Structure 1
Amino acid sequence: MQISEDVHNYMETLVGQALAQPEFSDRFDDDQLADMACIALNQLKPVYIRHDVDFLSSLPESRLVALKNSALTALDVAKEMIINDPRSNRADVPAVFTKPEFDEDKELEWYETPILPRNTKR
């Protein structure tokens, strides 16, 4: 058994179907759509299944409507987060390093711990 092939989260299917609608796909780029999918899916309880057909055949219609509404509500929240993303209005500020070389003789800060003991002989 390969869990990634045999089992999947049905909420991913519902979120993906909603994101394929022109309301999302025509308005947002691929990175924004991926971010929205992550934000939405993190808000939703996963529904793990093996086969969509088997799952849907035994699922009451009221439950399917509730799952779709949950996905749409989560996407509405995600869409607002993407639209109001404060990172989108910032100017790209270049990183300036004042000391381009690492000083091996500098003492460690109180929160730093060495991974390997310092070797005094080389």
Structure 2
Amino acid sequence: MQISVDVHNYMETLVGQVLANEEYVEKFDHEQLADLACLALSQLRPVYIRHDIDFLSALPEERLVTLKEYAESAVDAAVSMIVDDRRKNRQDEIPVIFSKQSFDDDVELEWFEKPILNKK
């Protein structure tokens, strides 16, 4: 089994359908569309499935409409981030100064950094 082949996030399909509309394809380049997809998908709860046909046959139509609305809303929110991209007007002349060390070997790991299994 390969997860990337056998399992996928159905929300990717819905976001892809939204981004395939002419209003997005004509307005944004390939890189911006990829950014839009990432930004939109980051806002959505994933729906992992194996086969679209099995999923859709068991999914009530109202729920599918709701998922499509979520995808459209997420893309709309992502568009504002791309249009108002702060990276365009960035001034690289300002130096970045770190006031403290970013990594300290003596600091205890956060809960999400600790391994799940302890080695014996």
| Normalised TM-score (structure 2) | 0.75
The residue number in structure 2 matching 1:63 is 63
Which consecutive unaligned segments of at least 5 residues does structure 1 have? 95-109, 114-122
Question: What does residue range 1-122 of structure 1 map to in structure 2 within 5 Å?
Answer: 1-90=1-90, 111=101
Map Cα deviations across residues 1-30 of structure 1 (whole Å, 9 max, x no partner).
111100000000000111011010110001
| Normalised TM-score (structure 1) | 0.74
Residue type at the aligned position of 2:78 = A
Which consecutive unaligned segments of at least 5 residues does structure 2 have? 94-99, 105-120
Q: CA RMSD in A?
A: 2.3
Residue type at the aligned position of 1:30 = H
Structure exhibiting the larger radius of gyration computed from Cα positions = 1
The residue number in structure 1 matching 2:113 is none
For 1:80, what is the secondary structure of its paired residue? helix
Aligned equivalents of 2:40, 2:24: Cα separation in 1: 13
Q: Which stretch shifts more, 6-15 or 81-90?
A: 81-90
Deviation of the 1:87 alpha carbon:
1.6
Deviation of the 1:36 alpha carbon:
0.6
Aligned equivalents of 2:85, 2:60: Cα separation in 1: 38
The residue number in structure 1 matching 2:109 is none
Deviation of the 1:90 alpha carbon:
4.4
